[in-house]
């Protein structure tokens, strides 16, 4: 097991220390960064440098974790930028392209963009802590702590979609690959939520299996839909070799375990992924 979570927690403590120290100056208006002493400014830059180093090591972990893949790397990079801004007492705001309406007259198309806004030291501190905690949660998904068993037994931990070749991140024009395990888990969660809605899906695992086999369907009643063109849900690793699929799982317990595993993963990743990136 790596020491990355400990590293992050140490940096977190160092940053909290810094924010608390400079919050004494919070009464001033304007740009707190400009009011820092050279040694406080150095302290902020040192923390950022440490984050950069540890983020590179975390990225290497994520690149080898098929369940996380590119979504996790995007979240990691975004979080580093948020922390960078927070260490300069700024909040990074990012938005997608959207339209603004006045009654029903289109007023403006606002292109995607971002900006930084000045914040107080205490706001910067909570923004920073939120971002670093997000990375910690992702890291926990990638590297469960040794004393806590992973969410499923070892036969299940080897499950997941067949590993897809991961192209190096950051390279322009890379092909968008098939759904990663991350997306697959989210799809499973969506389907379970739709099919079972308010009842316990465990009571009817076969029905969930049928729905997963049917794929991502937006018909009001999926069971009456016979479209063969839906996005399919990747099978757990090893099923294909056994000739098993969602409709004919190895056995019901294995099916339930596979679904539980994906629901837990989806839940953990939902907590770990900021909405702006979904």
In the block, residue with structure tokens 């998904």: 141
Comparing C-alpha atoms, which of 151, 149, 169 is closest to residue 160?
151
Indicate the residue among 102 and 221 with the shorter CB distance to Zn ion: 221
Indicate the residue among 16 and 217 with the shorter CB distance to Zn ion: 217
Q: How far is the CB of 191 from Zn ion (least distance, A)?
A: 11
Indicate the residue among 51 and 208 with the shorter CB distance to Zn ion: 208
214, two tokens: 């049917």
For residue 241, the surrounding DSSP H or E stretch is helix 239-242
Rounded Cα distance between 72 and 141, Å, is: 10
Indicate the residue among 8 and 233 with the shorter CB distance to Zn ion: 233
Rounded Cα distance between 74 and 146, Å, is: 26
Instruction: Determine the interface stretch with Zn ion among 118-126, 133-141, 226-234, 266-274 (rule: CB under 5 A).
Output: 226-234
Rounded Cα distance between 219 and 216, Å, is: 9
- Binds Zn ion (CB under 5 A): choice among 6, 117, 227, 278: 227
- Binds Zn ion (CB under 5 A): choice among 1, 60, 115, 219: 219
Q: 72-111: which residues touch Zn ion (CB under 5 A)?
A: none
With binding defined as CB under 5 A, does residue 217 bind Zn ion? yes
Q: How far is the CB of 230 from Zn ion (least distance, A)?
A: 5
Residue 50: how many CB atoms within 10 A of its CB? 16
Q: How far is the CB of 218 from Zn ion (least distance, A)?
A: 7
With binding defined as CB under 5 A, does residue 216 bind Zn ion? no
- Binds Zn ion (CB under 5 A): choice among 16, 216, 225, 256: 225
Which letter, b or e, does each residue of 74-94 get, where b requires 16 or more Cβ atoms within 10 Å of its Cβ? ebbebbbebbbbbbbbbebee
Residues 6+ apart with CB under 8 A from 163: 66
Q: How far is the CB of 225 from Zn ion (least distance, A)?
A: 3
Note the residues at the interface with Zn ion (CB under 5 A): 217, 219, 225, 227
């Amino acid at each position: 097991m790596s020491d990355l979570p400990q590293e992050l927690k140490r940096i977190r403590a160092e940053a909290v220390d810094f924010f608390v120290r400079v919050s004494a100056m919070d009464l001033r208006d304007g740009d707190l960064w400009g009011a820092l002493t050279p040694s406080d400014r150095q302290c902020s830059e040192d923390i950022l440098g440490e984050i950069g180093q540890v983020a590179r090591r975390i990225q290497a972990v994520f690149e080898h974790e098929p369940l996380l893949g590119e979504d996790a790397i995007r979240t990691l990079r975004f979080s580093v930028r948020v922390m960078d801004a927070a260490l300069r007492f700024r909040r990074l705001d990012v938005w997608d392209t959207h339209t603004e309406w006045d009654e029903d007259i289109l007023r403006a198309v606002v292109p995607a963009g971002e900006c930084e806004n000045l914040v107080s030291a205490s706001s910067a501190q909570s923004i920073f802590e939120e971002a670093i905690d997000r990375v910690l949660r992702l890291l926990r998904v990638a590297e469960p702590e040794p004393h806590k068993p992973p969410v499923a037994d070892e036969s299940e931990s080897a499950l997941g979609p067949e590993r897809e070749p991961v192209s190096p991140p950051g390279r322009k024009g890379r092909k968008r690959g098939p759904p990663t395990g991350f997306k697959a888990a989210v799809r499973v969660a969506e389907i379970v939520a739709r099919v079972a809605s308010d009842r316990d899906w465990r009571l009817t695992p076969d029905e969930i299996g049928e729905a997963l086999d049917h794929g991502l369907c937006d018909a009001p009643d999926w069971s009456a839909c016979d479209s063969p063109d839906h996005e399919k849900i990747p099978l757990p690793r090893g099923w294909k070799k056994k000739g098993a699929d969602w409709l004919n799982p190895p056995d019901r317990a294995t099916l339930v375990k596979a679904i539980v595993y994906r629901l837990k993963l989806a839940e953990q990743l939902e907590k770990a992924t900021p909405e702006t990136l979904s």
